Amino acid sequence: MPLFSRLLKALGLRDMLRTYESFYYRLHTMGFYEYLAPTEDIIHTVEVEVPSLIGRMKEIIRNICGADISDVLRSYDEALKLKREIIAKDTQLARIYDSINDLLERKLEPIKHTLLRGKTKRNPA
């Protein structure tokens, strides 16, 4: 989706991009993940609206067929690789923060009990 969206933007096909994003949102997000799209809306979208979009997509593919975008694809692969590395680092960072939280809880457990007992004595309600 991100590469196709960029392709549509580069071709100046913003109306088609909005349609594409709308389908993505309705079918993928609202239909598949959120279960908020009524079944009849999904059926209508797939049977009536999507074929038109697919026809337009085929036309775009026919028109750009033969265009050398190999450097774009290499850059996109590089971007995906970097994104995977960032996600891995983000996961590693989350584990470190979880470890910090666990350490703090263990180290401060006696103080926590002292503070909670003091609070209870001063404010029994």
Residue-wise pLDDT for 24-57, tens only, equals: 887 777 776 667 778 888 788 888 888 988 999 8
Question: Based on the domain organization, do 53 and 78 belong to the same domain?
Answer: no
Same domain, 73 and 124: yes
73 and 106 housed in the same domain? yes
C-beta separation of 17 from 57 below 8 A: no
Are residues 84 and 28 located together in one domain of the fold?
no
Tell whether 87 and 110 lie within a shared domain: yes
Instruction: Specify whether the CB–CB gap between 7 and 14 falls below 8 A.
Output: no
Which of 40, 67, 94 is the C-terminal boundary of a domain? Answer: 67
**Does 118 score more than 80 pLDDT?**
no
Q: For the chain, what is the domain count?
A: 2
What pLDDT score was predicted for residue 121?
A: 61
What would the two tokens of residue 68 be? Answer: 């050398």
Residue 11: pLDDT above 60? yes
> Pick from 32, 49, 67: which residue ends a domain?
67
Mean pLDDT of 86-93: 95
